Amino acid sequence: MTSRQVAADTVPRVGSEATPPRRGDEVRPTTPDSLDDDSRRWLHDLAGRGHTRDEAVRRLHDLLLRAARFEMSRRRHMFAHLRGGDHDDLAQQAADDALVAVLGKLEHFRGDSRFTTWAYKFALYEAAVMLRRRAWQERELPLEPDAWPAFASRAMSPGEQLAESELLDALRVAITERLSAHQREVLVAITLNGVPIDVLAERLNTTRGALYKTLHDARKKLRMQLAAQGFDIADGEREHDR
C-alpha cells in the first residue's frame, strides 16, 4: 500500500453501529447458503481478527489496485495530459478509497455476484471519480448556459426544427425565470456544461445526493412550466424515480 495506507485496525468493522459488538464477540456478515466458497472465505477472513484479517485486507487492496489500474488504462486516451506516474498515483488513491468503501459496506453484500466481482466495481467507480476530478482540477466550472447551441438537433424537417426551436426558447425562458439562482447554476453546470456531479459536489463541499435533489426540483419546475405552456413533455423522470 501507499502513504495513504489504510491500517486494518482503522477501517470500519463488520457489524451494526446500533448494537456494537461486545468484547470477544465475532460479528459476521450474513453468509447465505448460496454463497460460493471463495466469497464465503473472503467474508470470513475480513470479519476475522489479527493476521487473518490483515492478510485478507492486503489481498483485497491488491485486487482493488488491479481493478483501478485497469480502469485507468481503459480511460487513458480520454486523459492524455496525465503522465504515467499520475495514473499510478490516482490508481493507488482509488484503490485506497475503494478498500474503505468495501469494508464499510461488507454487511450489505448479498451474494448476488461473487465477492470479488462486487468489490471490483467499487474500484472501477472510484477510479472513474478520481479521473473526472483530476480532469476538472485546473478548470473553471462553467455555470452559465454557454452550451445552448449544442442542443440543436440535426437532420430534421423544417417543421420539426421550428417545434424544437420553440421548445428551446420556452426552456431558456423557464430556466431564467422559474429557477432560483442556485438551482439554475447547478442545472446549467451539470446538464448543459457537462460538469460531473461529483466534481461540483467537491467544489461546493456538499454531497452528490444534495445536488441530485436540487436537480430533481429544478427539472420538476421546468417540466411543469413547459406543460402549462402546452408543450408535450414526456414524463421520463417519474419512471426513473420509481
Partner 1 sequence: MKPIRTEPAARREALDDWRRRRLIAAGFDPRLAVELAAGDADLHELLVLVDRGCPPPLAARILAPLEEPAL
Residues 29, 14: Cα–Cα separation, whole Å? 7
Whole-angstrom CA distances from 204 to 26, 33, 126, 211 are 40, 45, 19, 10
Angle at 135 between CA 134 and CA 141, to 5 degrees: 105
Q: To the nearest whole angstrom, how small is the minimum distance from the Cβ of residue 71 to partner 1?
A: 19
Q: How many chain residues touch partner 1 (CB under 8 A)?
A: 21
Residues 241, 208: Cα–Cα separation, whole Å? 16
What cell numbers appear for 220 in the block?
420538476
Q: Which is nearer to partner 1, 45 or 198 (CB)?
A: 198
User: Which x/- pattern over 86-125 shows residues binding partner 1 (rule: CB under 8 A)?
Assistant: ----------------------------------------
Q: To the nearest whole angstrom, how small is the minimum distance from the Cβ of residue 97 to partner 1?
A: 10
CA gyration radius, the chain: 23
According to the binding rule CB under 8 A, does residue 183 interact with partner 1?
yes
Ranges within 191-230 binding partner 1 (CB under 8 A)? 198, 201-207, 210-211, 214
User: Which x/- pattern over 124-163 shows residues binding partner 1 (rule: CB under 8 A)?
Assistant: -------------xx-xx----------------------
Closest C-alpha to 30, from 22, 20, 38, 40: 40
Q: Which residues sit at the interface with partner 1, rule CB under 8 A? A: 137-138, 140-141, 180-183, 185-186, 198, 201-207, 210-211, 214
